[in-house]
């Protein structure tokens, strides 16, 4: 199976687009609805880490069953992210590159090394 | 700027990984914390569609300023998704392909064409 | 059974506090964890409305089974809200009254009648 | 100002209902929209705990400014919970009491004392 190194974003987006088209589901995929679906999947992903300490959450990869479960939830989150990009006509690579240019300016490496905020900001946000 | 057609998933993941490494932020990026950040960004994305009707949400691309804002939020969501994949060592392409094989079986195209559920399931979930 | 008219907030908070104390669960109920649990329950509540149009979501009370399901999810959300108030020592009535005084100033009734924003704000937020 | 001990749930619900009615906002308050608003506020609440360790999150009450900020977010969450109860005609006290009876059966105190799951369940969920 191809991996992230030999898979373009467009290829993954097409898998989602085909799945939606074959079921004629675009009618349900208003951006509002897809944004809800995405938030719901993000919550299901978070559920796996809910009662763990921050440190224990780092050990999850040592349990293959749990890692596979989390991988499925992450696939749902990214799948809906691509579904939303498909509906809205957003180029994901462009959006990420542009945002990261902003983040590099907002969080200069020298100033934020080892600290995630001047006070309490969300670092990638 | 390269687009989704000539950008691999690994390239985008590396942009995120480098950003985190240059700031020594992996110490904050426990999977628990990143899953929270991801859910928070998903909520910020959803906020753009909160008071719109489902139909009006489809018209968002006609407003370039709003589309750009939504693109930034989507970049945050996918950025944190990749940050989580980086921390856990999950291959995103593999996870999505595997999950979509399951979804194709769970939602046969002939049975689910034009209906998102037998009763009320989440279609990509 | 007593109703909202003859139940104080303190009585409901005590039901939650007793439940937690009898299981010695305060050790898991760090504010961070409870805030995650609350967000997860809010997503489960939202799931019931995910694929409905805004208008169809108003008809939910006509289906007693669905209304009962939504009532359970709402109980979870408010239950965790009270659990968080218990952990942090926040008086809920005071917090709501204070916030609503702010909201009344922020959203003057004459200016916002029939419109939820000057542009696109979250009205109760 | 009255506190949780001398405030009924109905009194708080009426504060929210009056606020909505005076602005003629029920038109925007479809259950779908309110469920989204609730999830968004839950995420904003969670944001305060995002980068803290579980243990450090317990110390938040020692910072009056942060405690006040969290109190405002909690007021938003409960405010929207009551707005949803108002739209759907759900008695909150009844819903919580009924759900907690279920939870007491699902999580017998003797079996779950000091452990939140047989394996990995959400305890109040």
Q: Residue A9: its pLDDT value, please?
A: 98
* 3-state SS class at A72: helix
Instruction: Give the pLDDT confidence of B45-89 residue by residue, as tens digits.
Output: 999 999 999 999 999 999 999 999 999 999 999 999 999 999 999
Q: DSSP assignment, residue B8?
A: B
In angstroms, the Cα distances linking C110 to B105, C4, C122, D16 are 55, 30, 17, 17
Residues of chain C with pLDDT under 50: 120-125
- How many percent of chain D have pLDDT more than 90? 91
Which residue, among C41, D70, D121, has the nearest Cα to A39 in the 3D structure?
A: C41
Hey, are the CB atoms on D8 and C12 less than 8 Å from each other? no
Check pLDDT > 80 for residue B18.
Answer: yes
Contacting B with CB below 8 Å, chain C residues are 36, 39, 47-48, 50-51, 53-55, 116-117, 120, 122-123
Query: Smallest Cβ distance to B36: which of D36, D39, D46?
Result: D46
CB < 8 Å to C122, chain D: 37, 40
Q: What is the 3-state secondary structure (H, E, C) of chain D?
A: CCCHHHCEHHHHHHHHHHHHHHCCCCCCCCHHHHHHHHHHHHHHHHHCCCCCCHHHHCCHHHCHHHHHHHHHHHHHHHHHHHHHHHHHCCCHHHHHHHHHHHHHHHCCHHHHCCCCCCCCCCCCC
Q: For chain B, what's the residue count?
A: 125
Q: What is the pLDDT of residues A85-121, one digit of tens each?
A: 999 999 999 999 999 999 999 999 999 999 988 764 4
Inter-chain residue contact C50 with A37, CB threshold 8 Å: yes
Q: Which residues of C touch B123 (CB under 8 A)?
A: 51
Q: What pLDDT shows up at residue A95?
A: 98
High-pLDDT (> 70) share of chain A, %: 94
Average pLDDT value for chain A: 94
For residue A36, list chain D residues with Cβ-Cβ distance below 8 A. Answer: 36
b/e D34-60 (16+ beta carbons within 10 angstroms → b): bbbbbbbbbbbbbbbbbbbbbeebbeb
Q: Is the ipTM here above 0.90?
A: yes
pLDDT digit string (tens) for A38-92? 999 999 999 999 999 999 999 999 999 999 999 999 999 999 999 999 999 999 9
Contact assignment for B54 to C53 by CB distance below 8 Å: yes
Q: What pLDDT score does A122 carry?
A: 42
Residue A8 DSSP label: B
Tell me the C-alpha distance between C95 and D67, whole Å: 11
Residues of C in contact with D60 (CB under 8 A): 31, 88
D22, C109 Cβ separation under 8 angstroms: yes
- pLDDT (tens, 9 = 90+) of chain D, 125 residues, equals 899 999 999 999 999 999 999 999 999 999 999 999 999 999 999 999 999 999 999 999 999 999 999 999 999 999 999 999 999 999 999 999 999 999 999 999 999 999 988 764 443 33
- The reply to whether residue D50 touches residue B40, judged by beta carbons under 8 angstroms, is yes
Integer CA distances (angstroms), A58 to A44, A46, B32, B41, in order: 18, 14, 8, 21
- What's the predicted TM-score (pTM) here? 0.94
User: Among candidates B4, B7, B3, B16, which has minimal Cα distance to B81?
Assistant: B16
């Amino acid at each position: 199976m191809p991996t992230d190194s030999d898979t373009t974003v467009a290829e993954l987006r097409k898998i989602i687009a085909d799945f939606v088209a074959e079921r004629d589901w675009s009618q349900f995929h208003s951006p509002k609805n897809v944004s809800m679906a995405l938030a719901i999947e993000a919550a299901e992903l978070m559920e796996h880490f809910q009662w763990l300490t921050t440190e224990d959450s780092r050990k999850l990869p040592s349990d293959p069953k749990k890692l596979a479960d989390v991988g499925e939830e992450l696939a749902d989150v990214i799948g809906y992210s691509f579904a939303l990009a498909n509906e809205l006509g957003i180029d994901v690579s462009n959006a990420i590159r542009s945002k990261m240019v902003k983040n590099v300016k907002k969080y200069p490496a020298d100033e934020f090394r080892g600290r995630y905020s001047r006070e309490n900001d969300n670092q990638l946000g």
